[in-house]
Amino acid sequence: MTQVPSEPLVDTLCIVGPGLIGSSVLRAARADGLIARRTIATDIDPAVCARVRELDIADEVDTDPSKAVADADVVMLCVPVGAIAPVARALYPHLKPGAIMTDTGSVKRSVLADLDGALPPGAAYVPAHPMAGTEHSGPDAGFATLFVDRWCLLTPRADTPPDATARIVALWERLGARTRIMDPEHHDNVCAMVSHLPHLIAFTICGTADQLAEDTRGEVLDYAASGFRDFTRVAASDPVMWRDIFLHNREALLAMLDRFRADADAMAEAIRHGDADRIVETIRRGREIRRSLIENRQA
């Protein structure tokens, strides 16, 4: 029988960058009561901080990250991938001894390579990546159940204390996520296929539609069927966030793109030459992947 926790896991949790992910963590902590006794939100953008105050999703809000993290037991960086390393290095000197810093970035290898600097005594860094999100961004976009039944992948470094990793695993599990620990390079390869490549294709298809002759373009937008609408939903995602992801995971992403190009060329050849068996087999395999997502509660 699973023991129900009776005390908050973390005394003070600081969210740096309360956008979709960060504000969802704050909302879940507020709704649950067993994640953190006290929550602090911080952002260098005063408008973001003002909105978090209006939404009342954090116990405290501070526009100065260095002050906001000073008393935190766990500091979670919910900033774009390109900002993780510089923000972490800037905040290292302001962490209290024994604090745990973590992040939510979807690229690990290049970010970890840039994470130099001296942590305070006893402090630890635990990289994490919640595989959850929507095409929306900002403090208003979050919701408390965003992470329920979604995966959070953790890629601790060789020098990461096991107890710090266990604490962040427990944090994500209390947020409702399923957790798995993996190697940073393997993480980046997996995410290139299941997340980064689909976004790249969606952005590109929208770009193709935008460059059609004016009359055809209008009809595409007017008569877009569910296939186009559903596939291009993610193209509404934040451009800066995805620019950073593409550039920081370029090697894995380009490798997956090359494989996709080869498969797309093979499908084009099958259509060109009327290879009905190849077409049906490709569609069948696609259906099996979709069914597996549904069975794994990820659809």
Residue type at 259?
A: R
**What's the CA gap between 121 and 108, in Å, rounded?**
24
Alpha helices, DSSP H, located in the chain: 20-32, 46-55, 65-68, 81-91, 109-114, 162-174, 184-191, 197-210, 214-222, 226-231, 239-248, 250-272, 276-295
Write out the residue range of the structural domain in which residue 249 sits. 186-295
* Domain end residue (candidates: 182, 202, 221): 182
4 found inside a domain: no
281 located within any domain: yes
178 plus 216 within the same structural domain:
no
Which CATH number characterizes residue 251's domain?
1.10.3660.10
Last residue of a domain, one of 182, 209, 233: 182
Same domain, 251 and 149: no
Grade residue 224 by pLDDT with cuts at 50, 70 and 90.
Answer: low
Residue 3 falls inside a structural domain? no
Grouping H, G, I as helix, E, B as strand and the rest as coil, residue 115 is coil
Same domain assignment for residues 166 and 221: no
Banded pLDDT at 169 (limits 50, 70, 90): very high
35 and 63 both lie in a single domain: yes
CATH number of the domain residue 121 falls in: 3.40.50.720
pLDDT tens profile 190-214 = 999 989 998 898 888 887 777 775 6
The answer to whether residues 55 and 132 belong to one domain is yes
pLDDT given for residue 218 in this prediction: 63
Asked if residue 173 lies in contact with residue 56, where contact means CB atoms within 8 angstroms, the answer is no
Tell me how far apart the terminal alpha carbons of the chain are, to the nearest angstrom: 29
Long-range contacts of 216-221 (CB under 8 A, 24+ apart): none
Q: How far apart are CA 181 and CA 120, in angstroms?
A: 25
Share of the chain above pLDDT 90, in %: 68
Give the C-alpha distances (Å, rounded to integers) separating 150 from 12, 33, 36, 262. Answer: 24, 20, 20, 31
What three-state secondary structure class fits 135?
A: coil
Q: Looking at the structure, do residues 57 and 93 belong to the same domain, yes or no?
A: yes
User: 207: which 2 tokens?
Assistant: 């770009």
Residue with tokens 């009327």: 274
| Order of all β-strands in the sheet with 124-126 | 60-62, 36-42, 10-16, 74-77, 100-103, 124-126
Task: Answer yes or no: are the C-beta atoms of 93 and 41 closer than 8 Å.
Answer: no
Closest CA to 155 of 111, 122, 108: 108
Same domain, 112 and 168: yes
Q: Which two tokens stand for residue 25?
A: 């963590």
Domain shared by 132 and 212, yes or no: no
Residues 260 and 239 placed together within one structural domain of the fold: yes
- Specify if 37 maps to a domain: yes
Please, are residues 182 and 155 in contact by the beta-carbon 8 Å criterion? yes
Residue 102 has pLDDT above 90, yes or no: yes
Statement to judge: residues 123 and 190 lie in one domain:
no
State how many domains the chain has: 2
Q: Are residues 144 and 15 in the same domain?
A: yes
Would residue 162 count as lying in a domain?
yes
Q: What is the pTM of this model?
A: 0.86
Residue 49 and residue 151 share a domain: yes
Q: Is residue 2 part of a domain?
A: no
Distance from C-alpha of 52 to C-alpha of 20, rounded to nearest angstrom = 12
Question: Exposed, middle or buried by CB within 10 Å (0-12, 13-18, 19+), for 145?
Answer: middle
Of 56-60, 248-252, 285-289, the one with minimum mean pLDDT is 285-289
pLDDT at 221: 61
Are the CB atoms for 76 and 105 separated by under 8 Å? no
Last residue of one domain, picked from the residues 156, 182, 208: 182
Instruction: Name which residue leads in pLDDT, 80 or 120.
Output: 80
Check residue 1 and give its pLDDT.
Answer: 44
61 forms beta bridges with 41
Two structure tokens written together for 248:
């920081």
